[in-house]
Each structure stands twice: as C-alpha cells, then as structure tokens.
Amino acid sequence: AQSVTQPDIHITVSEGASLELRCNYSYGATPYLFWYVQSPGQGLQLLLKYFSGDTLVQGIKGFEAEFKRSQSSFNLRKPSVHWSDAAEYFCAVGARGYQKVTFGTGTKLQVIP
Amino acid sequence: SQTIHQWPATLVQPVGSPLSLECTVEGTSNPNLYWYRQAAGRGLQLLFYSVGIGQISSEVPQNLSASRPQDRQFILSSKKLLLSDSGFYLCAWSSGTGTSETQYFGPGTRLLVL
C-alpha cells in the first residue's frame, strides 16, 4: 500500500526567504509523485508532478521538487517566497495504471513580511 | 481545455435532511471521477471513485452514496445527513487512460450540517 508523510504541519517563513517542504513516501515500485497547493476555501491546484526521467522537476509559480529514490523523498522548494504563496501544500503518491492517489496530511505555509 | 464544476459552492443543511452534490467535467471523455472529503485540519479522504458510467467504488463505509448517471457527471448523495458529514467536498477527475494518473480538482463544496 502507498503512504505519504508530510512531517511539518505548519511552517512560517519570511517573504523573500527560501522554502523547502518535506515529503516522504512509501511505495514498492516506481511512484508517481505530485505536489498540490490549496488556498483557503479553494480546490487543489497541481504545482508539479514526477513520473519518470529527470529527477528535478519544475512546476508553476517558481516551484521545483527533487525525487530522491534513496531517501524516498520528494521535497518541494522555492528560492524566494512571496506573500501570495501562503497556502496549504499537499504531497501525493500514485502509480501507473492505478486509479487512486494517496495524499499526505498537508503543510500549512505562513509567510510573514 | 478541460474544466470541472461543482455546485453548490456552499450548503447549510439540518441534521437528517437529504443531500445532493453535483460534479461535472467538460472537455474530456470517459474520465475517472473522484469524491473526497476534507474535514477541518485534516487531509483528503477519498470517499468514492468511478471509472465509468454506473461503476462506483466506495472507499469508506458511511451514510453517503455516489452515482454516475452520465459519462461526465458524478453525484454525491445522502438520505439523512449527520453532523459528522460537515466538511469540504472536492470532486476530481483524471484522464483514465492509464498513462497519466494526474488528478484535477474542482472548486469544492462547503457543507455545514446543523
């Protein structure tokens, strides 16, 4: 069975600082990995995804994530955070041919001036 | 391009009343469709998913049900709401081709049961 752990429930960063959100997954085969962002009261928006190939994935809004198989991790990064990045971020794991995706419990990001 | 709609956006219902939430997808055929619930301070809980018309898989036993009367329509229902049914309900779709399992989400429905 797949599982996802986001160890940080809440993170606060200053505007302009760098950001790294952690995600660890458990899956026996090659996973499909996703990061989504959710603003308050909104649906989830896909930031980026990894299926195969280059382990450094670029997404929208200046985000990137790196797949590290040896560490079972898929951490999300942004070099300089903007106030509009304040939201909740969800990591998810799926697999080829598998209809379901397992989501982590989310990390809420607060950005301070 | 594909779009996904959910309505209503917000709903306040008394305990014991029925429920019907609707989700429709445009711009794609034979999608996989999903219903999730997001309770306050918790992650996403998959409730139902469907790979085709009339095909519903239930993930969590509860007093909710789902139906897929048309290819791009997914309905979440209840005969009698409970207080614990309050939450944010999200519908999602994926292409269903087996080559891309990326899920795309609708705007959600906020349900408050009083």
Contact residues, chain A, for B88 at CB < 8 Å: 41
Using alpha carbons, select from A38, A33, A41 the residue that is nearest to residue A5.
A33
Interchain contact B90–A (C-beta under 8 A): yes
Rounded CA gap, B11 and B76, in Å? Answer: 13
Interchain contact B105–A (C-beta under 8 A): yes
Cβ–Cβ gap A96/B98 under 8 Å? yes
Least Cα separation, residue A81 to chain B (angstroms): 23
Confidence tier at A5 by pLDDT (50, 70, 90):
very high
Write down the pLDDT at residue B104: 94
Q: State mean pLDDT over B18-37.
A: 95
Q: How far is CA A111 from CA A7, A27, A48, B41, in A?
A: 19, 32, 21, 19
**B21 touches B83 (CB < 8 A):** no
* Chain centre distance of CA A15: 19
Write down the pLDDT at residue B62: 80
Write down the pLDDT at residue B79: 96
Write down the pLDDT at residue B97: 66
**A103 touches A88 (CB < 8 A):** no
DSSP helix/strand/coil, A61: helix
Write down the pLDDT at residue B95: 87
Write down the pLDDT at residue A96: 78
For the ranges A9-13, A78-82, B88-92, B97-101, the lowest mean pLDDT is seen at B97-101
- Give residue-wise pLDDT tens across range A83-103: 999 999 999 998 877 788 999
Q: Which chain A residues touch B if contact means CB-CB below 8 Å?
A: 32, 34, 36, 41-46, 49, 51, 90, 92, 94-101, 103-106
pLDDT at A10 over 80: yes
What is chain A's mean pLDDT, rounded? 94
- Give residue-wise pLDDT tens across range B57-71: 998 868 899 999 999
E-only strand ranges, chain A: 3-5, 10-14, 19-21, 24-26, 32-38, 44-50, 56-58, 64-68, 73-78, 87-94, 102-103, 107-112
Write down the pLDDT at residue B100: 56
Q: How far is CA A46 from CA A43, A83, A90, B13, B109, in A?
A: 10, 19, 9, 31, 19
pLDDT at B42 over 90: no
Cis peptide preceding B69, ω within 30 of 0:
no
Write down the pLDDT at residue B10: 97
- Give residue-wise pLDDT tens across range B88-113: 999 999 986 655 578 999 999 999 99
Write down the pLDDT at residue B101: 78
pLDDT at A28 over 60: yes
Q: How far is CA B112 from CA B5, B45, B76, B107, in A?
A: 20, 17, 15, 16
DSSP helix/strand/coil, B84: helix
**A47 touches A60 (CB < 8 A):** yes
pLDDT at A45 over 60: yes
Rounded CA gap, B88 and A106, in Å? Answer: 15
Confidence tier at A112 by pLDDT (50, 70, 90):
very high
Contact residues, chain A, for B108 at CB < 8 Å: 41-43
Interchain contact B43–A (C-beta under 8 A): yes
